[in-house]
Structure 1
Amino acid sequence: MTLKTVADRVGVSAMTVSNAFSRPDQLSAALRERILAVAAELGYVGPDPAARTLARGATGTVGILLTESPQHAFYDEYTIAFLAAITGELARAGLALTLLPSGRAGGVIPARDVAMDGAIAYSCRPGVDGVDWLRKRRLPLVFVDQQPERDHTSINVDDRAAAAAAARHVVDLGHRRVALVTVGRDAPDPREAPSDYMVARQRMRGWLDVLEPAGIEPVVRRSEYDSPEAGAEALRDLLDGPDRPTAVLCFSDALAAAVVRVAEDAGLRVPADLSVVGFDDTPLARRMRPALTTVHQDAAEKGRLAAAELAAAVARHRAGEEPVVRRLELPTELVVRESTAPPPA
């Protein structure tokens, strides 16, 4: 079944049938409905997408390069809300979303080889090949939770200030033995760890901005990004000792929930024996018992903005217009709930 078969049945040109699928504004509503009805009757689904992409010079698809594996996007509640907002906003712009793993498999590098009109780089580690390939392709790009770059719009929160607010909260409650549970690789100087994600580095700096002047030398435990349970388990030995921390500041709500489970397994009560603070304010933070003190950032608004900025950049690129680069910073707020209290006497 071909486009010409439909055209012959309706008595119009092949171009008219093509326009009925890809340029409906070129036809009257009545003619388009008649063409689509005949196509449905004959079992014709429309022009081949690959051929249409070549003809239009556009795919109607944008990518998102993820932090680690695509699997992470399906169980991390913050990322789920972020991606849901992106897909909703893109749908309004007539764009679809493709998840791009940052590595390679079978000789394929998705950031290099997948056809797309633009991309979002989401919280990728420095030196990730995928980001470099997206730059080389000169696609419209939006960076989210990444170090801002001169040529691309970026969307962030002030992670350093937000983390400082969380640290100030536990210091003001009277805590002096504090542990930090974060992501990334160990480094001699946690402030400057080059292998860390930009977000992890900024949150570490924010915590230390408050703890160091207060004379507090925190214990640092790290986990792989996709394994909050491992990060919490790394804290278990500290919770068994006489000088155990009385407060734990966590990179995310997922890590904080894992810390609470480990503490309860060790016979500790939260917050009577151990205060725990998260980051993100996901639905998990409100479901936990006790409800989690955490830093709120709006995942849905961050996703909506990222998609809107990328859709606008793609439209300007198609029109041959100069890109518009913006630096957007969303607000955060410390939300105090039941998981923090003064240290035990």
Structure 2
Amino acid sequence: MEKTAGRKLTLKEMAEQIGVSKATVSNAFNRPDQLSKQLRERILAQCEALGYSGPNMSARSLRTGKTGIIGVLLADTLSFNFSDPVANQFLEGLGNALDKQHVNMLLLPSCEENYQSSQVQTIPDGYIVYGQPLKESLMRRLEHQGKPLVTVDFTASFGQSVSVHVDNQKAACEAAMHAVAPVEHPRVSIFGLRLTSAIQAGLIADKELFGIEESISRRRLEGYREALVRLKVKPDMISLWNFPHNDQQQVRVMARGILSAPERPNVLLCMSDKIALAALDAARDLGIKVPQELRVVGFDDIPEAMERQLTTVHQPLREKGRIAADIVLQLQSFEDHVLSTELLVRNSCP
């Protein structure tokens, strides 16, 4: 066998030189599960020797109408998603599902400047939107393309997308009932994620809140409030704090001040485990006994939650990613999926 001088071999020429069909060569690159390990290794070795790097993806895209790429629009920055344990588990489940189908992932931070390129808008075969983008115009752009569109952790207010999420309100209500019910005179602080358009952390009022449909944070807040109404906790014994960046160091510093007040809270309802763990650090800094003097509950069940014995709401993050991938690839029914949660009772709030 010899290399063809001056130009790249075509798929047809490569198949003829090896003595197999074009489909077999294509499968060696794109669908390895269709071939035995020995045959695939022989084909790839011969292709490498002849300088053939695989079928032309542009030609394949024109022929099939598919690029083999799914766009994943991220509500937060790339750096946040790479460092956040919740996002890590979701993306792991998503990536594993795409890998099994030999489909690639294109990560797209949801700031408008990163989305101006026509190539970015036309390459993906479908989209998964992880978290509510701040600008509705991005969602409308995706909707107008007419491609499969799956939202995760929120429901779009228009269009033909479907959603994969947990019942955040129900799960938060259960957590709050468990945390507050045993306390004779509860003083409750809710440590929220992004609840307003403000970028600063701090105490917030109802008039500043996002609408109930706009974020998982608002859904969790409604769940907490539902429980507090049931338990007849006085409104002046409840404070609401906004931590839009889920920043543990910021939470730890602010929690020290909150827990140093004369009428400090004795229950903390935290909308993420990262926030709850930072609050536990602040309590330890101040010598406050958990759970005797302060009951703390989180949400997500990241690995560190079990290490620190944090009572929290478990949500199936990897499964959420897998289902989102299967829906956008049309391997699963195109309908909303609400996944189950579980309250895991540990030492921070027995």
Q: 2: CA distance between counterparts of 1:74 and 1:294?
A: 22
Q: Give 5+ residue unaligned stretches, structure 1.
A: 316-323
Find the partner of 1:170 among 179, 189, 192: 179
Q: 2: CA distance between counterparts of 1:107 and 1:280?
A: 30
In the alignment, what sits opposite 1:209? 226
The answer as to 2:261 corresponding to 1:241 is yes
Query: What SS does the aligned partner of 1:234 have?
Result: helix
Q: Give 5+ residue unaligned stretches, structure 2.
A: 1-6, 199-203
Q: 1: CA distance between counterparts of 2:242 and 2:126?
A: 33
- Relative to structure 1, the CA distance from residue 93 to residue 35 in structure 2 (aligned partners, 3 Å threshold; closer, same or farther) is closer
1:275-325 deviations in whole A, cap 9, x for unaligned?
A: 11000112111011xx00011111122122111111116x9xxxxxxxx53
Shift of 1:117: 0.6
Q: 2: CA distance between counterparts of 1:87 and 1:246?
A: 41
In the alignment, what sits opposite 2:8? 2
Shift of 1:228: 3.6
C-alpha contact 1:6 1:39 (8 A) present in aligned 2: no
Find the partner of 2:305 among 257, 272, 285: 285
- Relative to structure 1, the CA distance from residue 205 to residue 111 in structure 2 (aligned partners, 3 Å threshold; closer, same or farther) is farther
In the alignment, what sits opposite 1:198? 215
TM-score, reference length from structure 2:
0.82
The answer as to 2:129 corresponding to 1:121 is yes
Matched residue count? 328
Query: What SS does the aligned partner of 1:212 have?
Result: helix
Q: 1: CA distance between counterparts of 2:45 and 2:69?
A: 27
Shift of 1:233: 2.9
Query: What SS does the aligned partner of 2:76 have?
Result: coil
Q: 2: CA distance between counterparts of 1:165 and 1:300?
A: 22
The answer as to 2:160 corresponding to 1:142 is no
| Amino acid of the structure 2 residue aligned with 1:271 | P
Find the partner of 1:337 among 343, 346, 350: 346
Q: 2: CA distance between counterparts of 1:284 and 1:276?
A: 15
In the alignment, what sits opposite 2:80? 72
Find the partner of 2:189 among 179, 192, 202: 179
Q: 1: CA distance between counterparts of 2:18 and 2:221?
A: 66
Q: 2: CA distance between counterparts of 1:8 and 1:236?
A: 68
Q: 1: CA distance between counterparts of 2:234 and 2:214?
A: 24
Moved beyond 4 Å, runs of 4+:
8-13, 15-19, 22-25, 27-37, 109-112
- Relative to structure 1, the CA distance from residue 47 to residue 227 in structure 2 (aligned partners, 3 Å threshold; closer, same or farther) is same
Shift of 1:195: 9.4
- What is the root-mean-square deviation of aligned Cα atoms in Å? 3.3
Q: 1: CA distance between counterparts of 2:176 and 2:42?
A: 66
